[in-house]
Structure 1
Amino acid sequence: MSEVSVVLLRGINVGGRNSLPMAELRAMLEGLGAEDCRTYIQSGNAVVRGGVEAETLSDAIAAAKGFRPHVLVLHLDTYREVLDACPFAAQGQADGKSVHVYFADGTPQEPDAQTRALATGTETLAVRQGAAYLHAPDGIGRSKLAAKLDKALTVPVTARNWTTAQAIRALAEDIA
């Protein structure tokens, strides 16, 4: 039985830029040897059986579409660990759009005091080994902390809200 992986792309199908239909993403993944490819919504979330290299997929997208998204490939066990480590899981269960998981490609750094000071009175941030977690009950659309968090963590990250992260987990569990 092949290993199951979660594939997360950053910055596709956002604001009419970097368009990549999910049918094309699935075809690219299959062309790279992945099996049982499934995608979730249009923002670059896939689960696959078999190995896929992040750089190889990014190269394939660049060749076919003319832009190179950052690609993060996590083995299902690692993906589970990141979600299980979320200190705001209970809040995410109550309101899945209030909790955001920033999946990191490397070890994220704690943001400096100036960046942390951007948090509103309701926002809470936690940084762990492979992710950062933001509880923003008032939403992240106007959050100054969320706007600066990508750079403050010092490694490439891609964020998903709790609802989306759990839906991806369910897809992956289904093919595991």
Structure 2
Amino acid sequence: MYKYVALFRGLNVGGHNKITMVDLKAMLEGADCQKVTTYIQSGNAVFQSDVSPNEIESHLENAFEDQFGYAVEIMVRGDKELQAVFDDYPFFNEERELRFMMTGFAKGGFAPDAETVLANVAEGDELVQIVGNQVHFYFANGSGRSKLGALNFAKKIGTPLTLRNRRTVGKLLELINAL
């Protein structure tokens, strides 16, 4: 049995792709997931499943489309991967606000020049670094005001991202460890 976190890209953002967490939980349970717990309305869930790491993303994406009638991208990480994402965040500093510390979970592989592209878009005190299959950001003035935060990641770095702040990643880590 594997422990996973599923991060749904673009759910309940700006009034688009509205799904209740009750319906999302039911969809996951119908897709052979056990001990499902959702966290906040932006499409985060932790669960256990016998589906292998190589198959889990496509398995869930197919189940989602069957249930709701449209496709979304789902980034799935195992419990050890999520722990590494949290531990490897390079810009943690007690004086920085957690809400400005973000991690972008990538769907696929990065373009060879991805980190350079991101660094060239970053402004002022913004920081960016690719670690594994994630991009860590520090948005000094918030992601809403940042050109980096508004970037079309799939087009510019070769893969879509779904971003979560450090507080959310920490809470998801607590939830997955409690499974």
TM value normalised by structure 1: 0.89
**Distance in 2 of aligned mates of 1:114 and 1:58:** 29
- Return the match for 1:131 from 126, 130, 134: 134
- Deviation, structure 1 residue 150: 1.6
Q: Which residue of 2 aligns with 1:105?
A: 107
CA distance in 2, matches of 1:72, 1:115: 20
Using the TM superposition, give the Cα deviation of residue 64 of structure 1 relative to its aligned residue in structure 2, in angstroms.
2.4
Q: Provide the identity percentage.
A: 31
Q: CA deviation at 1:90?
A: 2.7
Q: Does residue 16 in structure 1 map to residue 15 in structure 2?
A: yes
Structure 1 residues 34 and 90, CA, compared in 2 at 3 Å: closer, same or farther? same
One-letter identity of the residue aligned with 1:58: E
Please identify, of 79-88 and 50-59, the stretch whose mean Cα deviation from structure 2 is larger: 50-59
From 155, 164, 167, give the equivalent of 2:159: 155
2:168 equivalent in structure 1: 164
Separation in 2 of the partners of 1:28 and 1:64? 7
Q: CA shift at 1:145, angstroms? A: 1.4
Asked whether 1:173 is paired with 2:172, we answer no
Shift in CA distance, 165/114, structure 1 to aligned 2, threshold 3 Å? closer
Over aligned residue pairs, what C-alpha RMSD do you find?
Answer: 1.9
Separation in 2, partners of 1:89, 1:149: 25
Structure 2 residues without counterparts, runs of 5 or longer: none
Instruction: Give the aligned residue type for 2:50.
Output: G
- CA drift of 1:113 comes to 4.9
**Does the 8 Å contact 1:102/1:133 carry over to 2?**
yes
Contact 1:107–1:129 (Cα < 8 Å) also in 2: no
Q: Counterpart of 1:63?
A: 66
Aligned counterpart in structure 1 of residue 79 of structure 2, from 76, 90, 98:
76
Q: Distance in 2 between matches of 1:75 and 1:113?
A: 28
Residue 33 (structure 2) pairs with residue 29 (structure 1): no
Residue correspondences, number: 173
